Amino acid sequence: MGSPAKSVLVAAVALVAVVLEIGLVGANFQDDCDITWEPQNAKMDEGGNHLTLSLVSNSSGCMLRTKKQFIFGSVSTRIKLVKGNSAGTVTTYYTSSIGDNHDEIDYEFLGNVSGQPYTVHTNVFADGVGQKEMQFRPWFDPTADYHNYTIFWNECMIVWFIDSIPIRVFRNYSAQGVPFPTRRQMYAFSSIWAAEDWATQGGRVKTDWTKAPFVAEYRDINLQVCDCASYVGDAGCPESCASPSNWYAAPDLCQLSKAQLRQMRAVQLGYTIYDYCADSERYNGTVPPECGMPQY
């Protein structure tokens, strides 16, 4: 990335407080989550505020899922990714519904050989329709310290944040026929798993299993969401979740602020490595309809 774009990003971070106040005090993996896959590969300490997920073999990773189901709001956690040679590993933080035609909002962190940068992979599914990927190189070392990853979601848009910096927006154009998740209740998930067939350089670089276990560390999980605990079924959450009185439905949260937009443009200018909207070859010379619609 050239220095002017980096300067814009740094200045925006220094001068602008993000609209969303992401408080992490009091979050607790032990109280708020269950280990749903390979619990022997998860460890919690510090009263449940610190979590490690380990990938031990190509068939034995680990997954954590929130106890709450929800629709709309903000979910965030801090992650320190696998150090050293992490090729073929995938560490995740995402939201997803359960069942057919699912909805999902993704952060996936694709490992790499020592000294090479991770790939930050984002995607969104609605009514079972996905393939809306954007990928980024991080502008920091995600293995050296914890960084805060946030998914914000309301009826207007989805925003992916890293350390309060928006990196991507996906707006609701369901009225124009573009699927958008507004109905199915979701859980938040964290996991680590093996994907050496595709994760690193298209699968050309395989996992060095002599380096196992591969360990990702998490601190804090914060759920500022509309809780669906009292609702049973796949038809959605209570109608009150769509009420304009909810904090996430405030008019100024239906678009980025000017400062946030500058931050996002700096990230996308300098660190985007794949954008499905720029991949016309994938779509036989065209792109999906939302690619021609304003996202900001």
Token pair of 262 as six digits: 């500058």
d(CA 29, CA 65): 9
d(CA 4, CA 6): 5
Q: How many CB atoms lie within 10 A of CB 277?
A: 15
Nearest to 33 by CA among 64, 72, 1, 79: 64
Measure the CA angle with vertex 159, ends 7 and 227; round to 5°.
140
Task: Single out the catalytic residue among 38, 104, 155, 290.
Answer: 104
d(CA 252, CA 284): 38
Report CA-CA distances (Å) from 162 to 10, 117, 208. 13, 16, 29
Q: Is 38 assigned a catalytic role?
A: no
d(CA 75, CA 88): 26
3-state SS, residue 229 = coil
d(CA 90, CA 238): 34
Query: Contact at 8 Å (CB) between 88 and 200?
Result: yes
Q: Report DSSP letters for 12-37, one per residue.
A: HHHH---SS----TT--HHHHEEEEE
Task: Single out the catalytic residue among 108, 155, 196, 217.
Answer: 108
Q: Is 155 assigned a catalytic role?
A: no
Residues with a known catalytic role: 104, 108
